Amino acid sequence: MRYRFTLPAVACLCTVAGYMVYRTEVAASDIHSSASASLEPIVGEEPATTAAAPNVPPPLTRRHATKVVLNIEVKEHVKALADGVTYTYWTFGDDTPGRFIRVREGDLVETHFSNHPDNMFSHNVDFHAASGPEGGGDASFIAPGHTTTFSWRALNPGLFIYHCVAAPAGLHISNGMYGLILVEPKEGLPRVDKEFFVVQGEFYTRGAYGERGQQEFSMEKALKEQPDYVVFNGHVGALMGEHALRVKAGQSVRMYLGNPGPSLVSSFHVVGGIFNNVYGEGGSTINQHNVQTTVIPVGGTATVEMTADVPGNYTIVDHAMFRAFNKGAMGLLEVDGAPRTELFSGRQSEETYNPGTHLQRVAATMDAVPIPSKPTGGANEHGKQVYTTICVGCHQPDGRGLANTFPPLAQSDFLMGDKDRVVRVLLQGLSGQISVNGRIFNNVMPKLPLTDEDIAAALSYVRNSFGNTGSVISIADVARVRAQLDGVQTLTNNRAGGT
Ligand code: HEC
Ligand SMILES: [Cu+2]
């Protein structure tokens, strides 16, 4: 209205009107001002179109804005977080994530929000798709046994998170209070063959990952942002096995991705796949093509489109790999179809390859390591020297070895058991399957260039280091075992040339 006063008095009414119309158009497309002239009229009313994870309701065919009636009921209930692990989830509807909601740009979303009387806590909902204080957080905040209604216009197209923002919001999100809402642009989205939605979220439990039984929320881990669980669609395995996402080769797939966090940014990746199109951060335009890994910010989304032409299993991960392999952030996209060997051959051949193994090379360099023939100090210091120059490369400075490769000497039942057997290992080398503390190792320890003094000192040292306490092994012990073995070819020699 103030423009009217800035215009010269001579300006005719039609000029004013024309200016006003022009201004309204700019506002509507660029910033969605609240100018009521830009709002489409609401025609009719219908229940909200929703679907449970990982399914997405079908595209809307409606070409006008309407009143969408959305009902959400909050529940606090025990559900399986992983096999044998339970957690008290707080959910929008029956499960985490809440249902995928699909509305059209311009729709009026009349939200009926109910907090079940069996619940213990007050809750609310913040729609990132809504423009207004707290996205409705304040308008919807209610105690158990209450229900509230508020309405908002879905003015901006895009993919949005909704979540509980009741204090402490991090706790309510950690407990599973989130979902996705798609505001389709007026003209709709390009059609694809399959649509899914995947929401990544964290769980902070007192017990470590996989610890059985009911798990309580750990505020300590939450404050450190160190979850034991990072999962897709609320549960370990929600997209695995019979719940894997299934498509046919060549079908176009759109995945709506969300990340309520509460703390970790997701590096979303489909192993073996490339995203042809990415709607970055879940906005309304494709802003990138041919993307390997897309980022989903905390409290944000991303929409990706891909087509897998080659059949097979495509693993879905947060590429921060320890989350994928050790905390649950893994799913599966199964692509059915006839082989496409012209695109991807699969394994074409396999033969043995032996340019000389690491162990053989280490053994070869051993000859070059000078080892004092006489102890420089007490037996223990000599033993320590042998250990830190020779044994350390494989058994590690802390004596703990390397998983599946070099057995531990720290608290090793093998080392602390039969003395003569241990002396034989040092005299001959060792190959074939052995068991150390119940774990199987099947590797080669080469025969090392050691004198009887070196062996006695080294074994006495390791049997009294890394938390071990045991009897010493004397030079006489080594000499006795050597005499017994006299003439026996070493295992290392037997193995030379590889198997
Ligand atoms: C080149 C790597 C390498 C070096 C160097 C090496 N080891 Fe080993 N060691 C092995 C491997 C591999 C095994 C297990 C062999 C198997 O699986 O059959 C082993 C097994 C052993 C075992 C029996 C299993 C256990 O954990 O108790 C003892 C004892 C042992 N080594 C002591 C030593 C000592 C002492 C030295 C230094 C003088 C040494 N090793 C140097 C690789 C090495
Ligand atoms: Cu809540």
Q: How far is the CA of 92 from the centre of ligand 2 (A)?
A: 9
Tally the residues of the chain: 499
Q: Which residues lie near ion ligand 2 (Cβ < 5 Å)?
A: 123, 164, 166, 172, 177
Instruction: Give the integer Cα–Cα distance in Å for 468 and 465.
Output: 5
Whether residue 404 has its Cβ less than 6 Å from ligand 1: no
Cβ–Cβ under 8 Å, residues 217 and 176: no
Tens digits of residue pLDDT in 350-385: 887 877 777 777 776 665 554 444 444 445 788 998
Which pLDDT score, from 0 to 100, does residue 488 have? 57
Residue where the block lists tokens 């720290």: 410
Instruction: Give the integer Cα–Cα distance in Å for 439 and 197.
Output: 41
DSSP secondary structure, 48-89, as one string: PEEE-TTB-PPPP---S--EEEEEEEEEEEEEEEETTEEEEE
If one residue of 421, 445, 454, 478 were mutated to test the ligand 1 pocket, choosing by the most ligand atoms within 8 A of its CB, it would be 445
Nearest ligand 1 atom, CA 442: 17
Strand-pair category, 146-153 with 108-115:
antiparallel
What does the block give as tokens for 209? 């990952």
Cβ–Cβ under 8 Å, residues 491 and 428: yes
Q: How far is the CA of 407 from the centre of ligand 1 (A)?
A: 7
Nearest ligand 1 atom, CA 431: 18
Nearest CA to ligand 1 atom 1: 359
- Other Cβ atoms less than 10 A from the Cβ of 473: the count is 25
Q: Which pTM value belongs to this model?
A: 0.64
Instruction: Give the integer Cα–Cα distance in Å for 499 and 496.
Output: 8
Instruction: Give the integer Cα–Cα distance in Å for 191 and 353.
Output: 49
Model confidence at 200, pLDDT cuts 50, 70, 90, reads very high
Tens digits of residue pLDDT in 262-317: 999 999 999 999 999 999 999 999 999 999 999 999 999 999 999 999 999 999 99
Q: Enumerate domains of the chain plus CATH numbers.
A: 2-37 (no CATH), 45-336 (2.60.40.420), 360-495 (1.10.760.10)
Model confidence at 203, pLDDT cuts 50, 70, 90, reads very high
Q: How far is the CA of 175 from the centre of ligand 2 (A)?
A: 8
**Which residue type sits at 65?**
A
Residue where the block lists tokens 């531990």: 408
Tens digits of residue pLDDT in 70-106: 999 999 999 999 999 999 999 999 999 999 999 999 9
Which pLDDT score, from 0 to 100, does residue 277 have? 98
Which pLDDT score, from 0 to 100, does residue 30 have? 52
Model confidence at 394, pLDDT cuts 50, 70, 90, reads confident
Cβ–Cβ under 8 Å, residues 85 and 109: no
Whether residue 427 has its Cβ less than 6 Å from ligand 1: no
- For the chain, the average pLDDT equals 88
Instruction: Give the integer Cα–Cα distance in Å for 55 and 256.
Output: 10
Which pLDDT score, from 0 to 100, does residue 497 have? 42
- H or E segment at 275? strand 275-279
Whether residue 386 has its Cβ less than 6 Å from ligand 1: yes
Cβ–Cβ under 8 Å, residues 181 and 129: yes
Question: Which residues, other chains included, contact 441 with Cβ-Cβ below 8 Å and sequence gap of 6+?
Answer: 404, 405, 406, 407, 433, 434, 435
Q: How far is the CA of 119 from the centre of ligand 2 (A)?
A: 10
